[in-house]
């Protein structure tokens, strides 16, 4: 799933650089810190996936829920560590498949029974076994479109700009660095306390991320 670019842009904008994989536990949002400076959150940088996963687990155990992880490739353990265990995409695909199947069947019913009925070998107009192949194809077609469009909507794509692109070194998320962000709209977020907490996670660097 993909919220990541800076000067080295993700694949949808720059095919020369792979996209950093985005592990998201919640929807991104903006908030204000201190009334003077708008913050998206606080970002910690790690140089290997093991440290990132360990830090993500500690962050989740500490009670933070608005947490995002960024890496050059998918890390299954990271997705679980930040608490991202459910997605509505399967439901979207199921609904799309049902609508496609029902629509495909009744399209044929309307044509064969209502709009232009033909007597073919004495068979009934509603010869439903003959409708099964088109019904199946419409089910697969609409479910596939629902999967693609649902994925784009849930990942907020296309997204040419995101606050994390302002963070120092975030371009390395497409190469060999790993990042963890606690968003400023997290109920537990307190700038000084959260910064101090992230400094205890063994990060190479901790920085504010401005909106």
Same domain flag for 200 and 183: yes
Range of the domain at 121: 89-154
Encoded tokens for 12: 């949808």
Query: Domain ends where: 131, 154, 177?
Result: 154
Residue 95 within any structural domain of the chain: yes
CA separation for the pair 20, 209 (Å, rounded): 17
Same domain flag for 149 and 173: no
**Domains: count for the chain:** 2
Burial of 170 (0-12, 13-18, 19+ CB in 10 A): buried
Residue 119 within any structural domain of the chain: yes
Low-confidence ranges of the chain (pLDDT < 70): 1-37
CA separation for the pair 173, 10 (Å, rounded): 10
Same domain flag for 163 and 140: no
Same domain flag for 37 and 53: yes
Residue 125 within any structural domain of the chain: yes
pLDDT tens, residue by residue, 132-165? 999 999 999 999 999 999 999 998 899 899 999 9
pLDDT tens, residue by residue, 183-199? 999 999 999 999 999 99
Same domain flag for 77 and 166: yes
Residue 37 within any structural domain of the chain: yes
Same domain flag for 44 and 140: no
């Amino acid at each position: 799933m993909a919220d990541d670019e800076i000067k080295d842009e993700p694949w949808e904008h720059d095919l020369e650089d792979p996209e950093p994989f985005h592990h998201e536990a919640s929807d991104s949002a903006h908030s204000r810190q201190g009334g003077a400076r708008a913050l998206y959150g606080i970002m910690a940088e790690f140089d290997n996936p093991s440290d990132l996963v360990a830090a993500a687990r500690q962050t989740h155990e500490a009670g933070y829920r608005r947490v995002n992880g960024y890496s050059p490739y998918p890390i299954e353990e990271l997705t679980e560590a930040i608490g991202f265990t459910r997605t509505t995409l399967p439901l979207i695909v199921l609904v799309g498949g049902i609508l496609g199947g029902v629509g495909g069947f009744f399209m044929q019913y309307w044509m064969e029974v209502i709009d232009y009925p033909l007597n073919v070998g004495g068979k009934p107009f509603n010869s439903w076994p003959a409708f099964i192949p088109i019904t199946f194809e419409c089910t697969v077609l609409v479910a596939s479109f629902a999967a693609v469009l649902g994925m784009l909507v849930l990942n907020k794509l296309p997204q040419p700009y995101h606050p994390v692109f302002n963070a120092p070194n975030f371009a390395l998320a497409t190469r060999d660095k790993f990042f963890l962000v606690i968003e400023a709209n997290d109920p537990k977020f307190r700038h000084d306390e959260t910064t101090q907490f992230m400094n205890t996670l063994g990060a190479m660097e901790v920085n504010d991320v401005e909106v």
